[in-house]
Copies of this chain bind each other. A is one copy, B any other.
Amino acid sequence: MNSVKHPTIYDIASEANVSISTVSRVLNNSAVVSEKKKAKIEEAIQKLNYVPNVIARSLANKLSHTIGLIVSDLSNPFFTDVIDGIEHVISKEEYFAFNCDTRYDLAREKKYIGRMLQKRVDGIITFSTNDDAYELIKDAKQLVPVVSVQSQFRDTDSVNTYDAKGAYMAVEHLIKLGHKKIAFIVFDYDNLTIESRTNGFMLAHEKYGLPLNKKYIFKTKFGADAGSNVTNEILDNHPEITAIFAYNDKLAVASYTAIQARGLNIPDDMSIVGYDDTVSASIVNPKLTTVSQPRYEMGVKAAELLMKRIREKDEKAEPELILLKEKLVVRESTRALKR
């Protein structure tokens, strides 16, 4: 293994009896080359099994054909769907992505961004979950275009959904079913997504004249048993609560576990709504009512915007904000409250 040396453009040139610039021209189709030479060159490429060295090319034309992708939890299917969309558009332009899983950890995010910059990625797509990441993003933006998904930073291109609206719809659904004591389970971080969904939660209460108990907003750190802990707290100390709106499906599923572990029934004893509509939502029993975002499309839009920025080079452009619509998918985990 690893013993055969890569032939270079010089090897091709001498094999085909032309100059390296001519080889480069046919490689990139960057100028007209006589059919005859072109044929000879292509023959040489075949014969020597030539694979162009993208690293050298990158150094010369200052484009690495690589982007950095920052997600906060790769094992969350939400992200893999978005990645799918991103992959779809960047691979058309022969781009690769370095995807990095921050585990909602700012230090990791910082480390990864640093390395991406060293690798001279042409752009970055980020799902930063931490508002403190803004400083990092701001620095990175000095060097490469950045588009943020699901988290709007000032003066930054971004694609988002109407999180407040999504949360509003979820809670409205619960309220219309007669629920009055509704818990909101959410991660304990500061970012716009969390803020927006929290606002949606509160707004629905307001619109329907329901008193809002701030204590019903249960915050939890990211972690394996994040969801079950708070759910247990609800079950132990708040028997009056009849419905839970979870920040995402993962948290909702964790609630399932805690609730079902006590022999309680969903939705008879507790209605639950999630967010994201990941596969888990359909796997789980009963199937989860959840807010669905156009994940794939989010990835596509983000990547398209980024590629556009990369093409534009240094031009200062107004930051763009792309807003996509989510919808509520009603399944089996919610039901009308019995009187």
Complex: A257 Cα to B115 Cα, angstroms? 43
Pairwise interchain contact B119-A54, C-beta atoms closer than 8 A? yes
Pairwise interchain contact A142-B253, C-beta atoms closer than 8 A? no
Complex: A80 Cα to B272 Cα, angstroms? 27
Which residue of the partner chain, among B3, B52, B118, B256, contacts A314 with CB atoms under 8 Å?
Answer: B3
Interface string of A316-329 (1 = CB under 8 A from B): 10000000000000
- Please name all residues of chain B whose beta carbon is closer than 8 Å to the beta carbon of A83 when the two chains form the complex: 74, 101
The smallest C-beta distance from A40 to any residue of chain B, in angstroms, reads: 22
The chain B residue sitting closest to A116, CB to CB, is B96
The chain B residue sitting closest to A98, CB to CB, is B96
Copies held by the complex? 2
Which residue of the partner chain, among B1, B54, B141, contacts A146 with CB atoms under 8 Å?
Answer: B1
- Please name all residues of chain B whose beta carbon is closer than 8 Å to the beta carbon of A145 when the two chains form the complex: 1-2
- Please name all residues of chain B whose beta carbon is closer than 8 Å to the beta carbon of A101 when the two chains form the complex: 83-84, 87
Interface string of A99-110 (1 = CB under 8 A from B): 101000000000
Interface string of A134-147 (1 = CB under 8 A from B): 00000001111110
Determine whether A120 belongs to the interface, using a CB cutoff of 8 Å to chain B. Answer: yes
Which residue of the partner chain, among B4, B115, B314, contacts A142 with CB atoms under 8 Å?
Answer: B4
The chain B residue sitting closest to A256, CB to CB, is B283
Determine whether A33 belongs to the interface, using a CB cutoff of 8 Å to chain B. Answer: no
Determine whether A59 belongs to the interface, using a CB cutoff of 8 Å to chain B. Answer: yes
Determine whether A6 belongs to the interface, using a CB cutoff of 8 Å to chain B. Answer: yes
A 259-299 contacts with B by CB, 8 A: 260, 279-280, 282-285
Pairwise interchain contact B75-A80, C-beta atoms closer than 8 A? yes
The smallest C-beta distance from A267 to any residue of chain B, in angstroms, reads: 14
- Please name all residues of chain B whose beta carbon is closer than 8 Å to the beta carbon of A257 when the two chains form the complex: 282-283
State the A residues within 8 Å of B (CB).
1-4, 6, 51-56, 58-59, 64, 66, 74-75, 77, 80-81, 83-84, 87, 94, 96-99, 101, 114-115, 117-120, 141-146, 253, 256-257, 260, 279-280, 282-285, 309, 313-314, 316
Q: Besides the contacts A2-B145, A284-B285, what 13 more A-B pairs have beta carbons closer than 8 Å?
A: A2-B313, A4-B142, A6-B120, A51-B117, A52-B118, A53-B120, A55-B55, A55-B59, A96-B119, A99-B99, A256-B283, A280-B280, A285-B285
- 4 pairs of A and B residues whose beta carbons are closest in the complex: A285-B285, A75-B80, A54-B118, A4-B142
